[in-house]
Amino acid sequence: MQSQFRDWGDVRVFLAVMREGSTLAASRHLGINQTTVARRIDVLEHVLDVTLFDRTTRGVVPTEHATALLPYAESLEQAALAFEAEAARGKTSAPIRITSVGDKTFGNIGQVVADFVAENPGVNFEFIFSERYIDLTKGEADIALRMTPAISDDRLIARKVGQTYWTYYAARTYADKHALPDAFSKDMEDHRVHLLDHFPSERRNIIRCATVNDLMMAIETGQGIGPFPVHVGDANPNLVRCFDPPPNAELPVWLITSPAAHKRPEIRRFAAFAAPRISRNLKTMG
């Protein structure tokens, strides 16, 4: 049987379902109706004459055919995005504005950007490193990297790119002079606890820090103890863990774009480029 496949749009829907785990989540990611997503998958299965997903009450489960086709679909995605980027080459475009609380906190985003620019020299970036909440829906930035249990705003296009854990750290010099706590507690005994301004706490012995750099400086210089993601704290030779990550210390890492920004081909291309690299970096650093 000769395949009649010729629609990149169906592959784009296939990739969304593979990544999101259900037709409902894929529809939200793509900004289209769930019925349309299901129909496009049915069409693709008919054209290819294979079953791509087993339907369950919780979503869909990729078949062996779907798993085998995934790398080829991703190659088509990169080719389509490269096609759009080449078509737009020479046009003046605004820089891609990325916001996060820091570079190393999110899988060395600076190196990811540098690698992307090396392959796409016409694309420029601006960085907004801030603990302040930057509102993508108001156009304050194009892409955000955030550590949070979930993304509550359904308007945003969010892709989970990894997961990390947090625990408390102290400087080695501080640990030499003080008995460190061996478990998470509300008061952390009599230690001075340093926390970022937006981090909620009922502790009585808190010293607030405005930025991640402020927090790191306080802990590195032996002013007390404070929390960091393990891929940040463990990588710092001046710090030691107070204890292993406590229960429920998981922190998903999200790459987020606004619907308006997602319309720009260079932003879609960067998101597709960055997501697997950030994920790999987080695993390596963790």
Interval 2-27: pLDDT, tens: 456 677 888 899 999 999 888 988 88
Over residues 112-139, the mean pLDDT reads 87
**Which tokens sit at 28?**
């939200």
User: Does residue 35 carry a pLDDT above 50?
Assistant: yes
The three-state secondary structure class of 264 is coil
Cα 186 from Cα 205, distance rounded (Å)? 10
Q: How far apart are CA 284 and CA 278, in angstroms?
A: 10
- What is residue 121's predicted lDDT score, i.e. its pLDDT? 83
| Alpha-carbon torsion (257, 259, 262, 264), positive or negative | negative
Instruction: Quote the pLDDT of residue 211.
Output: 80
CA separation, residue 76 to residues 10, 80, 81, 146, 267 (Å) = 11, 6, 9, 28, 17
- pLDDT tens per residue, range 152-204: 888 899 998 888 889 999 999 999 999 999 898 877 778 889 988 767 777 76
Per the CB < 8 A criterion, the answer to whether 266 and 282 are in contact is no
Q: What is the pLDDT of residue 209?
A: 83
Strand partners, 146: 254
Asked if 244 and 169 count as a contact pair (C-beta separation under 8 A), the reply is no
Please give the residue that has the higher pLDDT: either 12 or 107: 12
For position 245, what pLDDT does the model report? Answer: 92
Residues 6+ apart with CB under 8 A from 173: 222
Decide if 218 contacts 171 (C-beta within 8 A). no
Residue 273 structure tokens = 């480029």
Instruction: For the chain, give every domain's residue range.
Output: 8-88, 91-190+227-286
| pLDDT grade for 217, boundaries at 50, 70 and 90 | very high
What DSSP assignment string belongs to 202-215? --SSEEEESSHHHH
The CB density around residue 285, as the number of other CB atoms within 10 Å, is 18
Amino acid at 256: I
**Is the alpha carbon torsion for 234, 240, 243, 249 positive or negative?**
negative
pLDDT over threshold 90, residue 114: yes
Pick the CATH number of 8-88 from 1.10.10.10, 1.20.58.220, 1.10.10.410, 3.40.50.450: 1.10.10.10
Mean pLDDT of the chain: 86
State yes or no: pLDDT of 256 exceeds 90: yes
Q: Is the pLDDT of residue 96 over 90?
A: yes
Separation between Cα atoms, residue 282 and residue 109, nearest integer Å:
10
Q: What is the CATH number of domain 91-190+227-286?
A: 3.40.190.290
Q: What is the mean pLDDT of residues 84-96?
A: 71
What band does 1 get if pLDDT is binned at 50, 70 and 90?
Answer: very low
Structure tokens, 224 = 């007390």
Question: Does residue 89 register a pLDDT over 50?
Answer: yes
Q: What percent of the chain has pLDDT over 70?
A: 91
pLDDT of residue 13: 92
